[in-house]
């Protein structure tokens, strides 16, 4: 069993990132989906062997990858920021890309709106945003064998 924490669109809100450090320490994989991946450097310094950073459209310093495909147990995951796949207008392009890559799951950010939905056999997750003045949400994804269960979580219950 693998536990994955996915965040996106932190836009400089290091306080929200710090609030999740206990969750990060208990995770096997941490993914920052961009905007701003430089915030992810804080996570990467603390957890270098399990942190993946993706570049977003607001990331001037490209510190991560544009896209990644991860094999986690028997589940294949496609991850990107989402802007290049037009996720503000629909999910067909990102679902198609994930399918082309042989993935079961597509992770993306960009819209700041948390979602979990299925499109063409691909499970799509957007963790939402950790930016200031927004409902701070993240995705907690558990994979066991070929089963994946995700939950959009709020940081409101987490205290310093």
The pLDDT tens digits for 21-74 are 999 999 999 999 999 877 888 999 999 999 999 999 998 788 899 999 999 999
70 φ, ψ (degrees, to nearest 5): -120, 135
Number of domains in the chain: 1
For residue 16, the domain's CATH number is 3.60.21.10
Q: Which of 34-38, 39-43, 113-117, 137-141 has the lowest mean pLDDT?
A: 34-38
Full residue range of the structural domain in which residue 143 is found: 2-154
For residue 119, being part of any structural domain is answered with yes
For residue 160, being part of any structural domain is answered with no
For residue 10, being part of any structural domain is answered with yes
For residue 101, being part of any structural domain is answered with yes
Q: For residue 158, name the pLDDT band (cuts at 50, 70, 90).
A: low
Which whole number is the average pLDDT over 108-113?
Answer: 96
For residue 102, being part of any structural domain is answered with yes
Q: SS3 for 99-132, per residue?
A: HHCCCCEEECCCCCCCEEEEECCEEEEECCECCC
Burial category of 148 from C-beta neighbours within 10 Å (exposed 0-12, middle 13-18, buried 19 and up): buried
For residue 159, being part of any structural domain is answered with no
Given a cut of 80, whether residue 147 has pLDDT beyond it is yes
Strands (E), the chain: 2-7, 29-32, 51-53, 67-72, 75-80, 105-107, 115-119, 122-126, 137-144, 147-154
Average predicted confidence (pLDDT) for the chain: 93
């Amino acid at each position: 069993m693998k536990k994955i924490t996915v965040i996106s669109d932190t836009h400089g809100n290091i306080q929200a990132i710090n609030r999740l450090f206990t969750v990060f320490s208990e995770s096997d994989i941490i993914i920052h989906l961009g905007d701003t991946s430089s915030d992810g450097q804080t996570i990467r310094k603390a957890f270098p062997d399990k942190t993946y950073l993706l570049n977003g459209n607001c990331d001037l310093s490209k510190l991560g990858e544009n896209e990644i495909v991860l094999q986690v147990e028997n589940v294949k995951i496609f991850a990107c920021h989402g802007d290049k796949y037009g996720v503000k207008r629909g999910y067909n392009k990102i679902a198609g890309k994930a399918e082309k890559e042989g993935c079961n799951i597509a992770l993306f950010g960009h819209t700041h709106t948390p979602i979990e939905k299925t499109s063409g056999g691909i499970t799509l997750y957007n963790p939402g945003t950790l930016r200031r003045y927004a409902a701070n949400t993240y995705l907690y994804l558990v994979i066991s064998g070929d089963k994946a269960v995700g939950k959009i979580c709020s940081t409101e219950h987490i205290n310093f």
